[in-house]
Amino acid sequence: MAAPSTPVLNDSTAASAAIGASAMRKATQRLIPLIALGYGAAYMDRVNISFASLQMNRDLHFSSTVYGFGAGLFFLSYAACEIPSNLLLYRFGARRWLARIMVTWGILAMAMLFVRTPWQFYTARFFLGVAEAGFFPGVIFYLTQWFPQELRARAISRFYISLPLSFVFMGLIAGALLNLDGNLGLRGWQWLFLVEGIPPILLGIAFLYLLPDGPQQAKWLTEDERAWIIHHVHNDPSLSGQRSHNLSAALLDPRVWQLGLFMMLMLGSSYAYTFVAPDVIQRATHLSTSKVGYLVAALSLLGAAAMLLNGIYSDRVQRRTPHSNYPRYMHIIPWAFLISVGFFACGLSTNPINVIISIGTVIIAYNAMQGPLWSLPGSFFQGRSAAAGIATLNMIGMIGGFLGPYFVGFAKDLTGDYQRGLLLMSIPMLLGALIMFYLRAETRLRSPTLSPENPVPSSQ
């Protein structure tokens, strides 16, 4: 996926705008739904143990510590393989590499039905992380090859909406699959793993035939549309000097590690509640498994709406300062504080309504920040360095995916419930908000368009 050569564009501003609108419309319609389905399947197979645990932990006599360690172990192997996976995607192309990832993780997700002992559980989760490694940062890198910076938060939100929607889908069908308990000699949680491992295999085959490696390979683009994308994404002269193509620069850039630390705190908090939310809600409300699933689905729909709306609003504000990330941070920081408030409230309350509102607050705030957040890395680097940089910060973030579930599982075995652990998870996102404040200040100093003579408009 080498940087394409610079094409010749029509000089007419009106004509260029029309060509750009057509190119972006085609890219959105052709790429986003397919990618969204792929990531939805990935997230569902990653966290479906949160519903399976309602039966599995009892059947296999797993303690909360065993469950939390196994749930989080996925993220250690995932993190370890992030950078090599994204570099292989850059070398072999998105179409083949993403298809390979999906097929192998689908097979391993289905193999979870054979788990019987803690070590088998650990092994299955470890190799599931290896198989899925690189999919999300690969998709983020792939989208940076198609969408200019000022349109990127909306594009990312439109594919990333599959995250809360996968919870909607899982919430709606989990109860039905768990109720198959005993059919054909399988427990309900085994049916859950079996059925939900099939979609990524089918989608992997679809990726192989339908996903172009980049604009140069997209037969459904006209020459002018292809030229517009290449010019605005790969050869934007206004960004020369701000983005690096150097691989070592990506790995050593302090912004990558600072953003990675934020993501570690964010994902640690996120997966801490993701893997225990059904259990916490069921204990607080005493609802059936099916009704818990419906409730989680409803909260996830609100999260999906927040993700789309904040992504659209963030892009709208970004157009006023198109060559600076400064406005993006203010579409992340308030949500980080709100996540902290949600955890604090959930940890202190046993009232069913308060618990539901608190978890709903965390879900909505987490999803709302994703579009602006993931639009940031592509503005730092291009080409191979972008693939490595995005994978690096996601690798750091995924360490939080191990720490969060393991911590709340360990806390439950010590205290008897998950809520004490969730209470302490209010701290990481306070630290995360401080990191974003620092990055925002650094961006203001870096950007000549945000000098004291040219401040950000007060409406931002």
Q: Give one DSSP letter per residue of 7-71, joined into a string.
A: PP----HHHHHHHHHHHHHHHHHHHHHHHHHHHHHHHHHHHTHHHHHHHHHHHHT--HHHHHHHH
pLDDT of residue 341: 93
Report which residue type is found at 171.
G
350 burial (CB, 10 Å; 0-12 / 13-18 / 19+) is exposed
Interacting residues of 90 by C-beta distance below 8 A, sequence separation 6+: 1, 141, 383, 384, 387
What tokens appear for 75 in the block? 């993220």
User: 339: which 2 tokens?
Assistant: 């996540």
Angstrom distance (rounded) from CA 73 to CA 58: 20
Low-confidence residues in the chain, pLDDT < 50: 2-11, 237-245, 449-460
- How confident is the model at residue 116, as a pLDDT? 92
For 222, the 3-state DSSP assignment is: coil
Report domain extents, the chain: 21-235+246-446
Which pLDDT score, from 0 to 100, does residue 152 have? Answer: 74
Apex CA 74: angle with CA 73 and CA 77, to 5°? 90
pLDDT at 453: 41
Tens digits of residue pLDDT in 206-250: 998 899 988 888 899 889 888 888 888 766 544 444 444 455 666
Task: List alpha helices for 330-425, DSSP H.
Answer: 333-348, 352-368, 370-375, 383-415, 419-424
User: What is residue 122's predicted lDDT score, i.e. its pLDDT?
Assistant: 94
Residue 11 is encoded by which pair of tokens?
A: 């000089």
Q: What is the pLDDT of residues 101-130, one digit of tens each?
A: 999 989 998 999 999 999 999 999 999 989
Give 368-414 pLDDT, tens digit per residue: 988 888 777 766 666 566 666 777 777 888 888 888 888 888 888 88
Measured distance CA(345)–CA(271) in Å, rounded: 17
CATH number for the segment(s) 21-235+246-446:
1.20.1250.20
Q: Helices 64-80 and 254-274 meet at what angle, rounded to 10? A: 150
Alpha helices in 48-182 (DSSP H): 49-60, 64-80, 82-92, 94-111, 118-132, 135-144, 149-160, 162-178
Residue 124, pLDDT score: 92
Say what the pLDDT of residue 348 is: 85
